[in-house]
Structure 1
Amino acid sequence: MTYALSGALKKAVYQRLTGSDALQQMVGDAIFDAPRVGAIPSLYVSIGPEVVQARSDRSGAGARHDFTVSVVTDNAGFQQAKAVAGTVTDVLSGPIGPLDRGRVVALNFRRARARRDEAGQQRRIDLIFRALLDDQP
């Protein structure tokens, strides 16, 4: 197993999301890979937590990364957040580009969870993706 590919995957996902014209039209530059400091936009996309499992074999090191991309809004309903979430899945369904280290063997959408916070002020859709990574060039 190797966790060494995690940073390269996050960077590639971030670049793919921020490079999407469709997503830019929906949320502007409100795409984050770190917690936002200062004023929080009313609608944004955030790359969140990941769970990594070993997937090495005799041919080399590899890992399975289940990572979350969240769409968060303080709008009254889910409609706009669902549209953005759909665009995120569309953007990540294509090639995300080369990694600084290793390669993406597969990247697939796994599931989503839409919910309101306890106070009912925010809506959040967590999109879970699975990337199979190989530490081979």
Structure 2
Amino acid sequence: MTMALSAPLQRALFERLTTAPELATLHGRIHDDAPHRSRDAGGEPYITLGDETISPWNTATDSGAAHEAVIRVYAPQRGFLAVKEIAAVIVALIEANPPKPERGVIVTHEFSGARTRREENGALRRIDLTFRFVIEDDA
């Protein structure tokens, strides 16, 4: 059952990000499969849905899964300011209004942390945002 909730969560996260008015300036730059090089992104910040770690979460009467989901923000420019500003918007959006998957019910959600990185010899900035979602299966 744990894997059955992963795809619905990913679709819900993607929908939440692509329909948020606060991220309208990134329209068309929120990806499931991102450009692999900063020059392919057109020099503008973009977002990807990243890695996910899933573990069983069951009670005596219910089954579900705990998901550690990563959302990545990239900026093909010097400095971390652009990615940090976008990251702050994403965290606020998800904390205030978590995604609603078509299968399962999110019973708890929290922002777990962030990590910044430099890639492509310093030409690309990245911040990984990790969220924890506990989802009870309603199927």
Same fold flag (TM > 0.5): yes
- Residue 54 of structure 2 aligns with an amino acid whose one-letter code is V
Deviations 1:42-87 (A, max 9, x none): 3101011100011112212111000100001111111111100101
Q: Secondary structure at 2:41's aligned position in 1? A: coil
2:64 aligned with 1:65:
no
User: Using a 3 Å threshold, how does the CA distance of structure 1 residues 12 and 80 change in structure 2: closer, same or farther?
Assistant: same
Question: What is the match of residue 82 of structure 1?
Answer: 84
Q: How does 1:39-54 map to 2 (within 5 A)?
A: 39-42=40-43, 43-54=45-56
CA distance in 2, matches of 1:108, 1:80: 23
User: Using a 3 Å threshold, how does the CA distance of structure 1 residues 92 and 44 change in structure 2: closer, same or farther?
Assistant: same
CA RMSD of aligned residues (A): 1.8
Instruction: Name segments (4+ residues, structure 1) moved above 4 Å.
Output: none
User: Using a 3 Å threshold, how does the CA distance of structure 1 residues 41 and 109 change in structure 2: closer, same or farther?
Assistant: farther
Considering fraction of residues, name the structure with more helix: 2
**Contact persistence 1:109–1:128 (CA under 8 A):** yes
Say which is worse superposed, 52-61 or 38-47, in terms of deviation.
Answer: 38-47
CA distance in 1, matches of 2:8, 2:53: 15
Q: Which consecutive residues of structure 2, in runs of 5 or more, have no partner in the other structure?
A: none
Deviations 1:19-54 (A, max 9, x none): 1111112x2320012234893243101011100011
CA distance in 2, matches of 1:120, 1:69: 20
Question: What is the match of residue 91 of structure 1?
Answer: 93
State the number of aligned residues: 136
- Residue 79 of structure 2 aligns with an amino acid whose one-letter code is G
Deviation at 1:136, TM superposition (A): 2.4
- Residue 32 of structure 1 aligns with an amino acid whose one-letter code is H
**Contact persistence 2:72–2:127 (CA under 8 A):** yes
**Contact persistence 1:30–1:41 (CA under 8 A):** no
User: TM-score, length-normalised on structure 1?
Assistant: 0.90
Question: What is the match of residue 20 of structure 1?
Answer: 20
User: Using a 3 Å threshold, how does the CA distance of structure 1 residues 41 and 47 change in structure 2: closer, same or farther?
Assistant: farther
Deviation at 1:97, TM superposition (A): 4.5
Question: What is the match of residue 30 of structure 2?
Answer: 31
Choose the corresponding residue for 2:110, options 100, 108, 112: 108
Deviations 1:64-122 (A, max 9, x none): 00010000111111111110010110111123353211111111100000111261111
